[in-house]
């Protein structure tokens, strides 16, 4: 019984983790058809922002929830203005330019922080369930992920801002004619996506040691999750994260974590072969 | 037209041959050898991306597969002829299977990118985890993150004692690159190559004309895999060790940067790009003031923004302009903006309605 609870928590946690690391990328890709390959490095920057502000004496929650998104959001704003703005509609070129950007950020971080691992300890203690120890911070991450997805859904479907954003993504010329500057909408959307990425980086910083190359471990998973999800932002993200989280945890539980990782990747290949437009290209079509 | 191309190819080969002879007096031949090997690796992606419109994020897979096939076979056999051939054949076969899986599934550009990227990761993770003694093929331990050292390097066929090394190996690699270049040129001039370029420009139209697009793309992809495998084989002989790093994303990224900077839609461009950038990396590695990754990132961003055609085509364009006229033909044959980008915009427009 205790084991079952622990395993369920573990599965939910791995799904939540995938959602958390992919959400920023999903917004930017789903809304703007831009794949930001510097996504992992944005998370790395968020992590560093958190660690630096905690070391400077700020409250850890403030650092994670406010400083990290703000720093990365502003970084995203700069990047959008300088690079991505010129490449809208050229998917492959954007991928290449942001890949260059990711190398650039790794280089900069190495220059500033050196090639060493830094980290902070999780602010929440673990607690036992029967004979097993459960990491309290993992539960916090699950709650945060639920809140983030809820917030994104609420903003996109319930507010005027979300309506304008969705409208611009569908018909930018029409939005322009109605008086909403698409350039500005893209800018704000990219800012929001980057801020979300920074938030994810901040939230994960107590769990993983941050090195300048830390982004690499996230980008592939985020990229796979978002592309496999397909066109719909939230439905796609949730469905592919659930599928991959289940597959990887099942194999991790049955064999070991190495096999779990590989199973996730193989599942992605099979899925894309069967559903080349991603999950929401076939199911939940037209959802948000 | 064909005669002109033949003459141009011949000119490139003669110039390259002379450069190969002069090279060792300028740069240490050990370094030059690896530049040539990287040049060949870039050529493989330049062929399938620049001429076939297939953006492969995992060209490093075939590079590493060639190297590992060679190393494992050479450890077991102790003579290099069969391993050398295996180092080409295995990546060819794997690329054929992977390509068939993707192209018969009619995967479009981004999804192609994801799958090749994922396959790279699978290999990287798997090979990295094979450090234990239970991972053995014949006498060869896979060695995990330590790689496989101490295998038989390239020797004169039939005589395991007569190693081809140092300056001889340099000439061997140089001639191999020239032979590959000539063969690829021949392939592109053949009806197969013409149709491949046509597929890049407009896949649907070619399909409606009755060509089997899926099969042709698969074959082209496999040929690219074989060339990358050959360069991996040579790399294994050069480095005398193979490591999982050959499968890494960083390696794949570098190949793409070489092609972008050198220029897509040409064959000389990627080769020159690879050699120049690999040498730059070598020079940067000797100092500690600027981080190498930073410089490469900057180069990639700037070249995508300001030199979308790459260095070699831009130079060719400038030269032609100075001589006056003739640039319109060039524009018609533009490589990477061809099918990929336009189709992608259409896809984006179509899918945009579903969001």
- Specify if B283 maps to a domain: no
| Cβ partners under 8 Å of residue A259, min gap 6 | A251, A252
pLDDT at position A68: 92
Asked if the C-beta of A102 comes within 8 angstroms of chain B's C-beta atoms, the answer is yes
Asked if the C-beta of A256 comes within 8 angstroms of chain B's C-beta atoms, the answer is no
Min Cα separation B63/chain A (Å): 20
Percent of chain A with pLDDT over 70: 98
- Specify if B49 maps to a domain: yes
Q: Which residue of A has its CA nearest to B256?
A: A96
Asked if the C-beta of A107 comes within 8 angstroms of chain B's C-beta atoms, the answer is yes
How do B136-137 and A132-134 pair as beta strands? Answer: unpaired
Q: Which residue of B has its CA nearest to A287?
A: B355
End-to-end CA distance of chain A: 37
pLDDT at position B355: 29
CA pair distance A211, B96, nearest whole angstrom: 38
pLDDT at position B57: 85
- Specify if B201 maps to a domain: yes
Q: Nearest by CB to A107, which of B297, B351, B353?
A: B297
What is the token pair recorded at A62? 């403030």
- The helix (H) or strand (E) run that includes residue A134 is strand A132-134
Asked if the C-beta of A83 comes within 8 angstroms of chain B's C-beta atoms, the answer is yes
Burial class of residue A178 in the structure, from the number of CB atoms within 10 Å of its CB (0-12 exposed, 13-18 middle, 19+ buried): exposed
Min Cα separation B327/chain A (Å): 23
What domains, with CATH codes, occur in chain A? 2-282 (1.10.3470)
| Cβ partners under 8 Å of residue B173, min gap 6 | B33, B36, B37, B40, B234, B238
Min Cα separation A165/chain B (Å): 11
The whole-chain average pLDDT of chain A stands at 86
- Specify if B18 maps to a domain: yes
Q: Which residue has the tokens 């064909």?
A: B2
pLDDT at position B319: 73
| Mean pLDDT, range A6-32, rounded to an integer | 88
| Cβ partners under 8 Å of residue B201, min gap 6 | B338, B339
Asked if the C-beta of A231 comes within 8 angstroms of chain B's C-beta atoms, the answer is yes
Asked if the C-beta of A173 comes within 8 angstroms of chain B's C-beta atoms, the answer is no
Range of the domain at B176: 2-251
- Specify if B164 maps to a domain: yes
What is the token pair recorded at B313? 């085509």
pLDDT at position B323: 63
Which of B312, B304, B336 has its CA nearest to residue B39? B312
- Please name every residue paired with B163 in a beta bridge, in sequence order, or none if there are none: B155
Contact present, B211 and B91 (Cβ < 8 Å): no
pLDDT at position B21: 82
Instruction: Please indicate whether, in this complex, the C-beta atoms of A227 and B110 are within 8 angstroms of each other.
Output: yes
List, for residues A185-231, the tens digit of each pLDDT value.
889 999 999 999 999 999 998 888 888 888 877 888 888 888 888 87
| Cβ partners under 8 Å of residue B288, min gap 6 | none
List, for residues A161-188, the tens digit of each pLDDT value.
888 888 888 888 888 899 888 888 889 9
pLDDT at position A285: 65
| Cβ partners under 8 Å of residue A80, min gap 6 | A186, A187, A190, A191
pLDDT tens over chain B, length 355 residues: 457 778 888 888 888 888 888 888 788 888 889 999 999 999 999 999 989 888 888 899 999 999 999 999 988 888 888 889 999 999 999 999 999 988 888 777 777 888 888 888 888 888 888 877 778 887 778 888 888 888 888 888 877 777 877 788 899 999 999 999 999 999 999 999 999 999 988 888 999 999 999 999 999 999 999 999 999 999 998 988 898 888 887 888 888 888 888 888 888 889 999 999 888 888 888 777 777 788 888 888 888 888 877 777 777 777 776 665 443 333 333 334 433 444 444 444 443 333 2
Asked if the C-beta of A114 comes within 8 angstroms of chain B's C-beta atoms, the answer is no
Size of the A and B interface in Cβ pairs below 8 Å: 145
Give whole-number Cα distances, B155 to B77, B120, B212, B271, in Å: 12, 30, 41, 26
Q: Which residue of A has its CA nearest to B299?
A: A100
- Specify if B325 maps to a domain: no
DSSP string over A34-100:
---TTHHHHHHHHHHHHHHHHHTT--HHHIIIIIHHHHHHHHHHHHHHHTGGGGTT-HHHHHHHHHH
Query: How many residues are there in chain A?
Result: 288
pLDDT at position A286: 61
Ramachandran bin of A59, using left for φ above 0, alpha for ψ from -120 to 50, beta for the remaining angles:
beta
Contact present, B247 and B120 (Cβ < 8 Å): yes
List, for residues A43-91, the tens digit of each pLDDT value.
999 999 999 999 888 888 888 899 999 999 999 999 999 988 888 877 7
Q: What are phi and psi of A12, to 5 degrees?
A: -60, -40
**ipTM of model:** 0.80
Min Cα separation A125/chain B (Å): 32
- Specify if B290 maps to a domain: no
How many helical (H) and strand (E) elements, i.e. helices and strands, does chain A have?
13, 2
Instruction: Please indicate whether, in this complex, the C-beta atoms of A110 and B291 are within 8 angstroms of each other.
Output: yes
- Specify if B272 maps to a domain: no
| Structural domains of chain B, count | 1
- The helix (H) or strand (E) run that includes residue B128 is helix B109-128
């Amino acid at each position: 019984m205790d084991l079952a609870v622990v395993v369920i928590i573990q599965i939910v946690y791995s799904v939540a983790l995938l959602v958390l690391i992919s959400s920023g990328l999903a917004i930017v890709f789903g809304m703007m058809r831009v794949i930001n390959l510097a996504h992992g490095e944005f998370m790395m920057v968020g992590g560093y922002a958190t660690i630096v502000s905690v070391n400077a004496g700020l409250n850890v929650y403030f650092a994670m929830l406010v400083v990290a998104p703000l720093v990365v959001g502003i970084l995203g704003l700069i990047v959008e203005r300088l690079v991505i703005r010129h490449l809208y509609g050229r998917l492959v070129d954007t991928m290449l330019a942001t890949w260059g950007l990711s190398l650039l950020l790794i280089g900069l971080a190495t220059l500033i922080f050196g090639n060493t691992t830094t980290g902070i300890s999780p602010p929440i203690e673990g607690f036992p369930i029967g004979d097993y120890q459960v990491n309290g911070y993992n539960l916090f991450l699950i709650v945060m992920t639920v809140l983030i997805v809820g917030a994104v859904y609420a903003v996109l479907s319930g507010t005027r801002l979300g309506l304008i954003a969705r409208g611009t993504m569908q018909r930018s010329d029409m939005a322009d004619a109605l008086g909403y500057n698409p350039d500005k909408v893209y800018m704000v959307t990219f800012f929001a996506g980057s801020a979300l990425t920074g938030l994810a980086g901040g939230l994960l910083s107590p769990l993983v040691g941050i090195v300048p190359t830390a982004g690499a471990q996230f980008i592939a998973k985020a990229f796979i999750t978002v592309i496999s999800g397909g066109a719909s932002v939230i439905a796609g993200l949730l469905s592919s994260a659930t599928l991959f989280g289940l597959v990887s945890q099942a194999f991790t539980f049955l064999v070991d974590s190495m096999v779990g990782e590989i199973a996730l990747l193989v599942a992605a290949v099979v899925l894309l072969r069967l559903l080349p437009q991603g999950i929401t290209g076939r199911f939940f079509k037209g959802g948000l | 037209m064909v005669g002109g191309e033949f003459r141009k190819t011949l000119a490139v080969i003669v110039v390259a041959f002379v450069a190969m002879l002069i090279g060792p007096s300028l740069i240490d031949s050990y370094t030059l050898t690896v530049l040539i090997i990287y040049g060949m690796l870039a050529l493989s992606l330049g062929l399938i991306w620049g001429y076939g419109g297939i953006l492969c994020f995992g060209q490093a897979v075939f590079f590493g597969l060639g190297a590992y096939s060679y190393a494992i076979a050479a450890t077991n056999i102790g003579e290099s002829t069969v391993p050398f051939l295996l180092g080409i054949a295995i990546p060819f076969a794997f690329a054929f299977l992977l390509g068939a899986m993707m192209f018969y599934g009619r995967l479009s550009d981004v999804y192609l990118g994801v799958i090749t990227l994922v396959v790279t990761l699978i290999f990287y993770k798997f090979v990295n985890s094979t450090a234990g003694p239970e991972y053995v093929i014949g006498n060869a331990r896979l060695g995990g993150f330590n790689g496989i050292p101490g295998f038989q390097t390239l020797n004169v066929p039939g005589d395991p004692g007569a190693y081809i090394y140092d300056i001889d190996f340099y000439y061997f690699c140089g001639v191999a690159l020239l032979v590959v270049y000539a063969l690829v040129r021949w392939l592109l001039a053949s009806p197969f190559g013409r149709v491949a370029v046509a597929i890049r420009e407009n896949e649907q139209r070619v399909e409606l004309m009755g060509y089997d697009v899926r099969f042709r793309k698969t074959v082209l992809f496999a040929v690219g895999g074989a060339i990358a495998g050959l360069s991996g084989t040579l790399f294994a002989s050069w480095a005398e060790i193979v490591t999982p790093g050959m499968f890494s994303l960083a390696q794949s990224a570098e190949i793409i940067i070489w092609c972008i900077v050198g220029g897509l839609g040409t064959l000389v461009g990627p080769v020159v790009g690879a050699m120049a950038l690999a040498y730059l990396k070598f020079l940067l590695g000797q100092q500690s003031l600027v981080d190498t990754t930073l410089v490469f990132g900057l180069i990639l961003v700037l070249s995508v923004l300001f030199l979308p055609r790459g260095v070699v085509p831009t130079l060719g364009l400038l030269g032609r302009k100075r001589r006056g006229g003739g640039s319109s033909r060039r524009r018609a044959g533009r490589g990477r903006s061809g099918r990929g980008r336009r189709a992608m915009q259409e896809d984006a427009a179509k899918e945009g309605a579903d969001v």
